[in-house]
Amino acid sequence: MGLATSYQLGKRKASVLVLERFKFLNQQGSSAGFSRQYRIPYPDEYMVNMALEAQPYWDELQTHTPKTLMDKVGTLWFGDPNVHSTEGNIAAAEKAMDAAGVKYTTLTSKEVEDQYHFRNLPSNYTGLFQADGASIDLVATLETLHDLNLKSPSVTLKEFSPVYQINQIDGIFHVTTPEGTHLAKKLVITPGPYINNVLNLLNFKVSVTYWEMASAYFKKKQNLIFNTLPGLYFRKLSEKTEISFTDSRKLPGTTLVTSVWHLILLLNHLQVLISAPLFQTLRNWLIPLNGLKIT
């Protein structure tokens, strides 16, 4: 968020100073990992509209790199349509997309099984497929934004610059870091999960809830159905757990990056989502993988 903000401000010829607590392109913040999911389905209309409004900015950013930043594989949601939840509420997402004029396809439980290779889904499940969903190459996106900011004469990047103090004197913000104090008329705060660390310096805070997400990256060794599957989102209601699948074809030669708990969780739920032969195939890939990395 910080690099995207400074890039856009730099295009407007604003004088911008970016203070990064860690090193740029680090793994300590919200933009860690290899990929992210871009989707239009959200339970609130304003969020659907925000996703739509973001598309031209992605298109413009793509013109600055030969790497594909967003691979449009589509978004598939399926589950119990009557469940009310913070994420994955199919009925609410359909209502919000209808209000925004977004096209999507509704699916029955059997159609989800027939078209996307799932098995033994409850008969009351419904699904939706939205074709604009994409897998974001997070590494390429961050590198592109970082390079554009480095080239901008209006932007100065400073890493290893945690903010210790913020004061406002006569309408001017005084921002103190280890190397000194910087003055500015305006502040843009984009610290991700460290939001209250910064806001405490301004004597207030926001109420936030952090979710632990189980993520795994697999090295593709055979051309199976994964070449044609969209990005997937699934909620298994009985245990109130969520599994999100996104296209990881652009990942480097990593085998698996996860924790032991994440690995066990993923393997257990895969038995519910796919047929036994395919589940066994995945297990055969995972267990003997050379260079298996557990972190």
Regarding predicted confidence, which is higher, 253 or 170? 170
Q: Is the model's pLDDT at 250 over the cut of 70?
A: no
Nearest to 67 by CA among 139, 148, 146: 139
Mean pLDDT of 276-282: 50
Q: What is the mean pLDDT of residues 57-76?
A: 94
Answer yes or no: pTM beyond 0.75: no
Query: Tokens standing for 225?
Result: 């159905």
Residue 154: helix, strand or coil by DSSP? coil
Q: What is the pLDDT of residue 202?
A: 87
Per residue in 73-98, pLDDT (tens digit) is 899 988 887 777 766 788 889 999 99
State residue 136's pLDDT score.
92
Per-residue confidence (pLDDT) for residue 29, from 0 to 100: 81
Q: What is the pLDDT of residues 93-147, one digit of tens each?
A: 999 999 999 999 999 999 999 988 888 899 999 999 999 999 999 999 999 999 9
Q: What is the dihedral of CA 121, 71, 51, 234, to 10 degrees?
A: 20
From 86, 79, 84, 123, select the one nearest 235 (Cα to Cα).
79
Residue 24: partners with Cβ closer than 8 Å, 6 or more residues away: 3, 146, 157, 159
Contacts of residue 158, defined as CB under 8 A and 6 or more positions apart, other chains included, come to 17, 18, 19, 20, 177, 179
| 15: helix, strand or coil | coil
Using 50, 70 and 90 to split pLDDT, how confident is the model at 216? low
SS3 for 264? helix
Categorize the per-residue pLDDT at 279 as very low, low, confident or very high, splitting at 50, 70 and 90: very low
pLDDT at 246: 46
Rounded Cα distance, 137 and 70, in Å: 6
Instruction: Quote the pLDDT of residue 247.
Output: 44
State the maximum Cα–Cα separation within the chain, in Å, rounded to a whole number.
69
- Confidence class of residue 268 from pLDDT cuts 50, 70 and 90? very low
| Nearest-angstrom CA–CA distance, 27 and 46 | 30
Q: Are 45 and 100 in contact (CB under 8 A)?
A: yes
Structure confidence by residue, pLDDT tens digits, 156-203: 999 999 999 999 999 999 999 999 999 999 999 988 888 888 888 988
Closest CA to 126 of 101, 94, 99, 85: 94
State how far the Cα of 235 lies from the Cα of 228, in Å rounded to an integer. 21
pLDDT score, position 203: 87
pLDDT at 229: 53
What is the pLDDT at residue 116?
A: 86
The model's pLDDT over 28-48, given as tens digits with 9 standing for 90+, comes to: 888 888 888 899 999 899 999
Give the chain's mean pLDDT.
78
29 DSSP β-pair partners: none
C-alpha 224: how far from its chain's center? Answer: 25
Higher pLDDT, 246 or 215: 215
Amino acid at 245: F
pLDDT number for residue 222: 63
Q: Which residues of 109-132 are buried (b: 16+ CB within 10 A; e: fewer)?
A: beebbebbbbeebeeebbbbbbeb
Where do the domains of the chain lie, and which CATH numbers do they carry? 35-138+211-294 (3.30.9)
pLDDT for residue 263 is more than 70? no
* DSSP H stretches of helix in the chain: 2-11, 45-62, 90-100, 109-116, 138-151, 195-199, 260-273, 276-286
* pLDDT on residue 258: 35
Q: Quote the radius of gyration of the chain (alpha carbons, Å).
A: 22
Tokens representing 263 are 């690995």
